[in-house]
Amino acid sequence: MRRSTLRRAKKRQARARRLRAKKVSFPRALHQFLTPQVWKQGHRAWQGKHSDCSWSLKAIVWVQLLMTWVKGDSEQERFLKARAFFVSQHAHEKRPGETWEGFQQALRRLPIPVFRALAEGLRQPIGRRWIEGARIGGWLPIGCDGSRLECARSEQLEKRLGEAGKDDSAPMMYVTALALLPLGLLWAWRLDKGTGSEHQHLTQMLPTLPHQSLLVADAAYLGYELYRSILNSGAAFLVRMSSRAYLYSESNVPLKRFREGWVHYWPEYIQKKGGPPLRLRLLRVRGKKGDVWLLTNLAKKDLPRRRASQIYRWRWRNEGLFRTFKRTLDKTKLRLRTTPVVFRETEGALLALQLLLALTVQMMDEEKTKASPRRFLLRIRGAVIRGVATLGPRQLQRYQDALEEIHDECPERTSSKTRRPWPRRKQHKPPKPPHLRRLTERQKALMAKTLGVPLQ
């Protein structure tokens, strides 16, 4: 027993040494995705003169990514940590500005197409590494779903973004995302105000799809024009049906006995316009809580019913992607308070999510172990702490002084606490003054008797 125990212990130690040898530092792992080609595409999209700005494209993006990953009680604290780590890793490059206000101005000057160019550049290394291995039967399952993000109740955001739900609700932003379902990796996204259209977002993202993609979506993605756009792009789809859909069956099988077959999707307004019907395949998948009806354009040989059922179950990985974004990265509510900057905050946070998920999958491939985005996020935060500690004495002292100034600041108030009436909140009513009454003769006599003093 002792020898076998020693052998097992030696094997564990040897495996731990191999894993430590395989581990790559966080900055080096990040450089595997943020390649020079990616930065070149970003610079190509950032047209104009920027020599007067102390913030380069690389500095803005690095700091914004790190601000999404690190912890802090305020945006200023996250900014200081992110900037300090960037300076520690790029000691020979031009140092960026030191103030949070200056960073916001630089971020506002950065055009939105730059973020899309960087996202397009990131899709290239992700596609080379994992797309072919993620195909099932030659098709690449890609989930599509949308979610709303709450914004700050600033006057500008309420005016520009408006309400998207209940009356007097906070301004919302809508994000529609595509995810590689076998891996749970973020692929592409589109942003809009809270009342944006998922169908329009998906149509805009169709050019980003790889060859032979299979779009998987829930019952909200129902539409003749949407299906025609997907088919014209060369992709396939697998969408859940609901009672909102009216289909024309080619067989006389009753609904209770229907399992799968070819149907025609032909809405009445298309019939009036003289448009052709779409010949599609309807599948019925039995479930414990209820049957799931799926609509696809693929034949049985390309997508058997059992495989379609398995792929649709993976659609919840798209929901998990939003959970990671909102809970793990703490983006349930966006923090910045003006329209141009809040859109750039979200674009940068989604880039950070895409990189975090890619780094997590890479760690699972290299270490042959299960991992979660949370686990790699803790690695990043540890690397940031160690990186900040390597700053020079002067830089480290200035960083610590700036942190203390943020934690100790107590600004003097020069205006009222509330600038305007707050929606969905009762107006505060100050207490009314007390009522003053005179003592009656009987009360005076009783008081004198109780206190033992003569009546005045």
The dihedrals phi and psi of 341, each to the nearest 5 degrees, come to -80, -35
Lowest mean pLDDT among 43-47, 322-326, 439-443: 439-443
> Residue 1 pLDDT > 70, yes or no?
no
Torsion 267-271-277-282 (CA) sign: positive
The pLDDT, as a whole number, for residue 253 is 83
DSSP-based three-state secondary structure for 198: helix
Evaluate whether residue 167 is within a structural domain.
Answer: yes
Average pLDDT value over all residues in the chain: 88
| pLDDT tier at 21, thresholds 50, 70, 90 | very low
> Residue 19 pLDDT > 60, yes or no?
no
Evaluate whether residue 432 is within a structural domain.
Answer: no
Q: In the 3-class helix/strand/coil scheme, how is 106-143 assigned residue by residue?
A: HHHHCCHHHHHHHHHHHHHHHHHHHHHHHCECCEEEEE
Lowest mean pLDDT among 102-111, 409-418, 443-452: 409-418
Choice between 123 and 49, residue whose per-residue pLDDT is larger? 123
Most confident region among 42-46, 344-348, 370-374 by mean pLDDT = 344-348
| 112, 343 contact by CB (below 8 A) | yes
Question: Which residue matches tokens 């006599």?
Answer: 445
- Residue numbers of the domain that contains 304: 133-346
Question: Which residue matches tokens 């500005």?
Answer: 97
> Residue 51 pLDDT > 70, yes or no?
no
| 106, 60 contact by CB (below 8 A) | yes
Evaluate whether residue 353 is within a structural domain.
Answer: no
Residue in 72, 19, 118 with CA at minimum distance from that of residue 344 = 118
The pLDDT, as a whole number, for residue 373 is 93
Evaluate whether residue 441 is within a structural domain.
Answer: no
Chain segment 235-266, per-residue pLDDT in tens: 999 999 999 999 998 887 888 888 999 999 99
Instruction: Read off the pLDDT of each residue in 419-441 and give the average, rounded to a whole number.
Output: 67
Which secondary-structure segment (H or E) carries 144? strand 140-150
Evaluate whether residue 153 is within a structural domain.
Answer: yes
Instruction: Read off the pLDDT of each residue in 204-218 and give the average, rounded to a whole number.
Output: 97
The pLDDT, as a whole number, for residue 274 is 86
CATH of the domain at 178: 3.90.350.10
The pLDDT, as a whole number, for residue 412 is 66
Q: Rounded to whole angstroms, how far apart are CA atoms 76 and 406? A: 7
Instruction: Read off the pLDDT of each residue in 206-219 and give the average, rounded to a whole number.
Output: 96
Q: Rounded to whole angstroms, how far apart are CA atoms 269 and 286? A: 32
Instruction: Read off the pLDDT of each residue in 347-358 and give the average, rounded to a whole number.
Output: 97
| pLDDT tier at 445, thresholds 50, 70, 90 | confident
Instruction: Read off the pLDDT of each residue in 89-115 and give the average, rounded to a whole number.
Output: 93
Q: Report the percentage of the chain scoring pLDDT > 70.
A: 87
Q: Report the percentage of the chain scoring pLDDT > 90.
A: 64
Number of folded domains that form the chain: 1
Q: What is the pTM of this model?
A: 0.86
Q: Which positions ≥6 away from 455 have C-beta within 8 Å? A: 444, 445, 448
Lowest mean pLDDT among 19-33, 112-126, 319-333: 19-33
CB atoms near residue 72 (< 10 Å): 15
Instruction: Read off the pLDDT of each residue in 120-142 and give the average, rounded to a whole number.
Output: 95
Evaluate whether residue 263 is within a structural domain.
Answer: yes
Evaluate whether residue 36 is within a structural domain.
Answer: no
Torsion 365-369-370-376 (CA) sign: negative
The pLDDT, as a whole number, for residue 277 is 93
The pLDDT, as a whole number, for residue 321 is 94
Evaluate whether residue 241 is within a structural domain.
Answer: yes
The pLDDT, as a whole number, for residue 47 is 79
> Residue 268 pLDDT > 60, yes or no?
yes
